[in-house]
Structure 1
C-alpha cells in the first residue's frame, strides 16, 4: 500500500468516525433542529468519504471500511456525559465540535505532506471539511 493510500485510508476512517458519531447523536437527541443539523453533517461526511474512497479505488487499492478506536471511545464518552447532563444537546455539540477538530487537523496534516498528488486530491474536500468544522465551532460558541 502506498503512503498516499495509507493517508487517504486514515482520513476515511477518521471521517467515518465523525459520520457515525453524527448519526448516533441524531438518534439520541430530542431537539428537531439538532436532529436535522446532525443529519446534514452526517451527509456531508458521507460525501467526503465517498470522494476519498474514489481516490483510493482509482489507485487500484482497497478503501478503509472501518473507523478508529478513538472515534468509538469519544462516542461512548459523549453518551456518558449526556446521560449525566441536563442539556444533552449541548454535550453532543461540544463533543462533535471536538470530533470536527480532529478531522480538520488530520486533513491539514495530510495537506502539509510532501506528496503533491495527495494535496491535490484533498484540496477539493477541504472547503467542505472546514465548513463542517466552522459550523460546529460556531454552534458551540453560541451556547
Structure 2
C-alpha cells in the first residue's frame, strides 16, 4: 500500500467510526430533530467513505472495511456517560463533535502530505461537506452547552 492510500485509508477508518457512531447515537436519543441530524451526518460520512474508497481502489489497493478501536471506545464512553447525564443528547453531540474534529484533522493532514494531484483532488472534493458537518456539530454543541 502506498503512502497515499495509507493516508486515505486512515481517513476512511475515522469516517467509518463517525458514521457508525452517528447511527448508534440516533437510536439512543429521543428528539426527532436530533435523530434526523444524526441520520444526515451518518449519510455525509458514508458519502466521504465511498468517494475515498473509490480513489483507493483506483490506486490499486483495497479500502478498509472497519473503523478504529478508538472509535469503538468513544462510542462506549458516550453510552456510559449518557447513562448518568441529565441530557444524553448533549453527551452524544459533544462526543460526535469530537469525531468531526478527528475527520477534519485527518483530511487536513492528508492535504499536507499528499502530492499526487488526482489523490489531492479526491480529498479536496470531500472537504466542503466535511467542513459543513464539522461546523454544524460544533454550533450544536455550543448551543446545548449554553
TM-score tier, shorter chain, comes to over 0.9
Q: CA contact under 8 A between 1:26 and 1:39: conserved in structure 2?
A: yes
Q: CA contact under 8 A between 1:23 and 1:42: conserved in structure 2?
A: yes
Q: Which residue in the other structure is 1:29 paired with?
A: 29
1:114 Cα shift? 4.4
Consecutive unaligned residues in structure 1, runs of 5 or more: none
* TM-score normalised to structure 1 length: 0.97
Count of matched residue positions in the alignment of Structure 1 and Structure 2: 143
Give the secondary structure class of the aligned counterpart of 2:142: helix
For residues 1-143 of structure 1, what are the structure 2 equivalents within 5 Å? Answer: 1-117=1-117, 118-143=119-144
1:40 Cα shift? 0.4
* TM-score normalised to structure 2 length: 0.95
Q: CA contact under 8 A between 1:112 and 1:119: conserved in structure 2?
A: no
Give the secondary structure class of the aligned counterpart of 2:70: helix
Q: 1:126 to 1:69 in 2, by over 3 A?
A: same
Deviations along 1:33-78, one digit per CA (max 9) or x if unpaired, are: 1110000000000100000010011112111111001101000000
CA RMSD in angstroms, aligned pairs only: 0.9
> Following the alignment from structure 1 to structure 2, what is the Cα–Cα distance between the partners of residues 98 and 59?
30
> Following the alignment from structure 1 to structure 2, what is the Cα–Cα distance between the partners of residues 103 and 97?
10
> Following the alignment from structure 1 to structure 2, what is the Cα–Cα distance between the partners of residues 78 and 9?
25
